[in-house]
Amino acid sequence: MIKTIIEPFKIKSVEPIYFNTREEREAILTKANYNAFTIDAKDVLIDLLTDSGTSAMSSNQWAGIMLGDESYAGSTSFYKFEAAVVDITGMPIVIPTHQGRAAEKILFSIVGGPGKCFISNTLFDTTRANIEYSGAEGIDILCAEGKQPTVPAPFKGNMDIEKLKQLITEKGAENISMVIMTVTNNSGGGQPVSMANIRTVSAICKEHHIPFFIDACRFAENSYFIKLREEGYAHKSVLDIANELFSYADGCTMSAKKDAFANIGGFLALRNPELAVHCRNLLVITEGFPTYGGLAGRDLEAIAIGLREVLDENYLQYRIRSIEYLTNKLIAAGVPVMQPAGGHAVYLDAKAFLSHIPVEQYPGQALVCALYTEGGIRSVEIGSLMFGKYDSDGKLIPAAMELVRLAIPRRVYTQSHIDYVAEVIIEVFEHRDSIKGLMITEEAPLLRHFTAKLVLAK
Ligand code: F0G
């Protein structure tokens, strides 16, 4: 008999959840201007806003915190951190930063700028913002199957190879700062990228002398998908697969708040010593000395331990299975959900879920609000509120997809929490016709979804 895949941990320390009523949540949501980012955490029952920085650390990581060496220069904790990064990435130069976007800011300030462009399967929102802030352009070329939320395929995070070749011809290799592969593809549904796709993109970049970088936030989840789904990898360890994946790249940026189970931290890893000199110069101005880069010694220690723990295949089996478990429950109830299940989150297809709400009224955000009101669940819209732009007439240019992401924090919620989440979503689906669209009343020029104010559409 096939047995339940259980949580591969016991709980040593717990945090209470505070309960509130639907009426209270309605008032909270109105006060928060229909923006889940402005709801206080204490008013949320199940927080699926992000899997970033929200992991439960292990007893080993907490023990490591006590070992943190807080020396300004040459901290012992830095060398443990560096060794863990080198063992996984094979990249000899490791630059710590306080989180992923700090690594991006440093790198893009050096290689970006007006007239340059960055090509990716899909750039994450802060990554795109850092590129655009440097004056450069960010271009996403996700494969066709990645854009069809409910059509299953094994590697929906892949880059469109033909489009890449076409763009190199159009833009000129010298104007392309770098090609960035996001693994797994967060904004495109947490879908993995195949080793074959990474290998091909790397070869094309080499041929044209374009640097190839990995956005490595969820490298372990991606590596495990390769083990499960790509021919020739079933018998390889996740570490071997990760080693191969990074071997094709010239560098990577990483947010340790994801696959390193840390509450803060990140890094930039490189092979090119000249680029490293420029990066470290900026690091000292913006983050700190090269052996701590904006982190405490105890953070470096926790990351070093987390990077090794995440390679545990019992953990990865449970992790991938728990996302699939929620996805399958929703599919069985007829809820339109991204298929197959991604690595860190379940993505609802809001366009299909709320087909009566036009994209100009942000169906994704309307669904985020409905899930909060119904069950106190906090999620995030990944659609036209996050990525929409305006044309010269002020008309909305919608995002390619209208998704709602339910990101599952690592090692935090149990199966009954997830059962409750499924029940709430199914209940919302059953009365979906009563849900109303939204209108923006105030917004910032960049990353507007964090602070936008909305009201119910008329
Ligand atoms: N790249 C990807 C693919 C990400 O998912 C994130 C963060 C970053 C870069 C930036 O890292 O937060 O440490 O600065 N994603 C979080 C999320 C915020 O909710 O998906 P950071």
Q: What is the pLDDT of residues 393-415, one digit of tens each?
A: 999 999 988 999 999 999 999 99
Q: Both 211 and 351 in a single domain?
A: no
For residue 264, is it within any domain?
A: yes
Q: What's the token pair of residue 86?
A: 């080198």
Listed residues 266, 294, 309: the one ending a domain = 309
Q: Both 188 and 277 in a single domain?
A: yes
Q: Both 198 and 266 in a single domain?
A: yes
Dist. CA 241 → ligand 1 center (Å): 22
Q: What confidence score (pLDDT) does residue 400 get?
A: 85
Q: Both 450 and 305 in a single domain?
A: no
Atom of ligand 1 nearest to the CA of 257: 13
Dist. CA 137 → ligand 1 center (Å): 19
Q: What's the token pair of residue 145?
A: 């199957």
Dist. CA 223 → ligand 1 center (Å): 18
Q: What confidence score (pLDDT) does residue 425 get?
A: 98
Segments forming the whole domain that contains residue 428: 22-51+313-456
Q: What confidence score (pLDDT) does residue 288 get?
A: 95
Q: Both 205 and 305 in a single domain?
A: yes
Top mutation candidate among 49, 52, 140 for ligand 1, by most atoms within 8 Å of CB: 52
For residue 6, is it within any domain?
A: no
Number of helices and strands (H, E) in the chain? 16, 16
Atom of ligand 1 nearest to the CA of 102: 14
pLDDT < 50 regions, the chain: none
For residue 9, is it within any domain?
A: no
- Among protein residues, the one with the nearest Cα to ligand 1's atom 2 is 124
Q: What confidence score (pLDDT) does residue 226 get?
A: 98
The single-letter code of the amino acid at 339 is Q
- Among protein residues, the one with the nearest Cα to ligand 1's atom 1 is 124
For residue 16, is it within any domain?
A: no
Dist. CA 268 → ligand 1 center (Å): 14
**CATH code: domain of residue 213:** 3.40.640.10
Q: Both 428 and 446 in a single domain?
A: yes
The number of distinct structural domains making up the chain is 2
Strand pairing partners for 213? 180, 251
Dist. CA 215 → ligand 1 center (Å): 9
Q: How crowded is residue 41: how many other Cβ atoms within 10 Å of its Cβ?
A: 9
Q: Both 27 and 174 in a single domain?
A: no
Ligand 1 site residues (CB inside 6 A) read: 50, 52, 99-101, 124, 126-127, 182, 186, 215, 217, 255, 257, 266
For residue 135, is it within any domain?
A: yes
For residue 5, is it within any domain?
A: no
Dist. CA 313 → ligand 1 center (Å): 23
Q: Both 228 and 243 in a single domain?
A: yes
Look-up: residue for tokens 């890449």? 164
Count Cα neighbours of 454 within 13 Å in the Cβ-side half-sphere: 28
For residue 8, is it within any domain?
A: no
Listed residues 286, 309, 332: the one ending a domain = 309
Asked if 76 and 97 count as a contact pair (C-beta separation under 8 A), the reply is no
Asked if 218 and 258 count as a contact pair (C-beta separation under 8 A), the reply is yes
Residue 217 burial class via C-beta count within 10 angstroms: exposed 0-12, middle 13-18, buried 19 and up: buried
Q: What confidence score (pLDDT) does residue 282 get?
A: 97
**CATH code: domain of residue 397:** 3.90.1150.10
Listed residues 309, 342, 369: the one ending a domain = 309
Q: Both 66 and 189 in a single domain?
A: yes
Q: What confidence score (pLDDT) does residue 92 get?
A: 98
DSSP one-letter code for 2: P
Q: How crowded is residue 231: how many other Cβ atoms within 10 Å of its Cβ?
A: 8
| pLDDT, tens only, 105-119 | 999 999 999 999 999
Q: Both 247 and 368 in a single domain?
A: no
Which residues are CB-contacts of 397 (< 8 A; sequence separation ≥ 6)?
Answer: 388, 389, 390, 391
Atom of ligand 1 nearest to the CA of 344: 20
DSSP-H helix ranges across 115-247: 125-133, 161-171, 195-207, 219-229, 238-247
Dist. CA 304 → ligand 1 center (Å): 19
Q: Both 256 and 287 in a single domain?
A: yes
Give CA–CA dist 112/109, Å, rounded: 6
For residue 112, is it within any domain?
A: yes
Q: Both 75 and 202 in a single domain?
A: yes
